Structure 1
């Protein structure tokens, strides 16, 4: 039976069809610029924003220039989260805490290839869940190189596995990935709901990736090592000093306390009546106050290019939304799925994953947020659709070498430091297979939760 679905029109009166098509084309060209390596994605986004804003003013899509400030005002909390967590992670990294934990992990595994491999993948999952994907990958990629060079292991299986496992870690919490932050802040998803809905599947998708990776790299590492080889490894590892990069132990202790307190603050933000941006900025400020030694340098390490990228992206989305094009797209999606959640979830999952694999999950998430908002304003439940976008955008990053910043960092490190190139065909064979399995599992998982009424309602 086909359900009739009315989609509330939260946009101004729709513009003429050619205007909607023009702005849609402008957004598409911008996204192509983001995906093409010869253009910096921030420059592409800012250029697209300037062009579409000028067109919006000339064609009367936006009545006055000040309207753009109203569009951006809804997204200021995202900037606060990025700035606060960026400062916190930089200060914590300088304390030597992450290197200390990693060295303890190496010692605990005895340097054995199999144990160390699974331990590094597990550490990746944990680090990304707590630190977000960019700082975690920068830390882990450097640690992998140091460890592999010291133990004479091929870094390729380690780096590729870390990159792919990172995308599972990115769906654990509200602050683990940028799409989570964008969707969570726009929709008002509580922190604990991420732990209830996406965190269990994050672990499931992590295990899926490990199985495929273990099979793919079965000939790349010495999975079975003799007692003599293990003894030689232990003797070499005993020379490692976990405190080597720790200049001040009290700074390390304070950094650890502030980091844990910030994570707890994220979980309790709604009960405290504050936003995630406040918690992030408070954590960053506390880090600078009690553990920071170079305030100017730590602030400069904030990813300002990502913030400018967001700025341009939000202007583009705002202009396209003002034409009514996104509301029209939402109607077509509902019509295509015949108003059935069982069809909408696979449709959104496939689109968000495939698009994220070739463009970037940030613009994909930014585009889908108003579309899903329009769909959810009708008679369909919005909750399973939001979780579909969260899982699809993050896991889609495994599909291609440019699909996720974790894959980009890993492949760049391999090329620069190890002089190994991984082609598109080789990567898609590995990452694309994992993405397909993970996204298919996500569809089954979310539909099961939906029909069992296990997805909590949004506040």
Structure 2
């Protein structure tokens, strides 16, 4: 078969309502799979992998008629511009707020409140992680907390490994709390049209449950690693060391700290009120970032530069790849097979999607997994199958699946890198999987039971529109 015949065949298959030939679907699916392999390989930067995949698949889609013309690529990206807006706005806001010294200030106050006791400090740091990630998203929160843990452990002579691993695993529960707590939430929430308040109603309760599950397992796992019981003399020595901690050490201007805190609170409120006000989450994020630059930002150029442009380029390539694969009809075919396998049973569909998203996120990364599953869930949800439980299963699976392996979550990657670089201590895959994998299995089983119980009682709110 010559090239012209291939093009004519593919163009005919790509007409509206048609599906590309099986070999075309397989070709593009393999291209996407190859990109994910590149994402998973540490020595190959995931942004380069995504851009390379897009550079290969877009021309191929045009030649084979999978996309009608190049303008179709802009149509693909137009559906996800709001995600870029949220990333840019929150990135600026978090950087400016961090420079104000607010997060360091709050952290030191908590350390002083615990008296430095290992048990109280351990639980306080885990709770602080949960709260910080819920408000700040996982990357900036982990960068702040990993630095804080190192300082505290060095000053108090505590081993950093139990603290860093616990903070990393608890961070994945914090990422479930709100619409803006994690990138998978932003991606899935915007595509599904989930209001901010609904996230708090459905996701936040299980975020807390999963956090408590993780905390219980971690406390048992590290039962011999920390001095959980300390006598009066040890506590007095700790108190003397803690008195040297200065909560105001990183605060250059108290007015900037107050204004940063106020802007952060108003932005979170704005996220909750975005839908009733008729504006997008991206507008609220950009407004919060702009206010931070206007009222609290001294180094505007630096703050804008601190936006995670790497992840934005990663998304750019990834969305183009998935758009091309979707245009072949292969994701629709996959959705049909999932429905056929479950015989249309909602409970089985929830279990399948939750487990698949968790396992895939542990192996690759939850961002490409979420991006791939969005069109699949869109296709499945409809008719006799309720879409809402499927979206929530995907959200919980993508976030909590990160606990399964050392590379499953950016929080685990940051913690293990910090441990290796600063403490010269490594954690093997086997050791991590025994800990994090156990927690993931329990959390995912609980997530399925939680969603099925809510669905049976009719407590999962219907999505607007």
Q: TM-score, normalized by length of structure 1?
A: 0.97
Quote the offset at 1:239 in angstroms.
Answer: 1.4
1:133 aligns with 2:132: no
Quote the offset at 1:234 in angstroms.
Answer: 0.7
Deviations 1:374-411 (A, max 9, x none): 00133200000000000000000000000000000000
Q: Which has the higher contact order (CA 8 A, sep 6+)?
A: 1
Counterpart pick for 2:305 among 300, 304, 318: 300
Quote the offset at 1:119 in angstroms.
Answer: 0.2
Matched with 2:174 is 169
Matched with 1:338 is 343
Matched with 2:36 is 31
Contact 1:11 1:322 in 2 (8 A): no
Counterpart pick for 2:89 among 62, 84, 88: 84
Matched with 1:357 is 362
Write the distance in 2 (CA, Å) between the matches of 1:130 and 1:195. Answer: 12
Matches within 5 A, 1:149-228: 149-228=154-233
Write the distance in 2 (CA, Å) between the matches of 1:11 and 1:419. Answer: 57
Write the distance in 1 (CA, Å) between the matches of 2:15 and 2:297. Answer: 45
Deviations 1:58-106 (A, max 9, x none): 1010110011000100100000000000000000000000000000000
Number of equivalenced pairs? 451
Matched with 1:247 is 252
Deviations 1:340-394 (A, max 9, x none): 0111111111100000001000000000000000001332000000000000000
Deviations 1:390-444 (A, max 9, x none): 0000000000000000000000000000000011011000000000000000000
Deviations 1:126-177 (A, max 9, x none): 0000000000000000000011101000000000000000000000000001
1:96 aligns with 2:101: yes
Quote the offset at 1:275 in angstroms.
Answer: 0.2
Gap change, CA 1:10 and 1:170, over 3 Å in 2? farther
Contact 1:11 1:327 in 2 (8 A): no
1:68 aligns with 2:56: no
Matched with 2:116 is 111
Write the distance in 1 (CA, Å) between the matches of 2:168 and 2:62. Answer: 43
Matches within 5 A, 1:422-437: 422-437=427-442
Counterpart pick for 1:406 among 405, 411, 429: 411
Instruction: List alignment gaps of at least 5 residues for structure 1.
Output: 1-8
Gap change, CA 1:11 and 1:434, over 3 Å in 2? farther
Write the distance in 2 (CA, Å) between the matches of 1:10 and 1:355. Answer: 32
Write the distance in 2 (CA, Å) between the matches of 1:309 and 1:450. Answer: 35
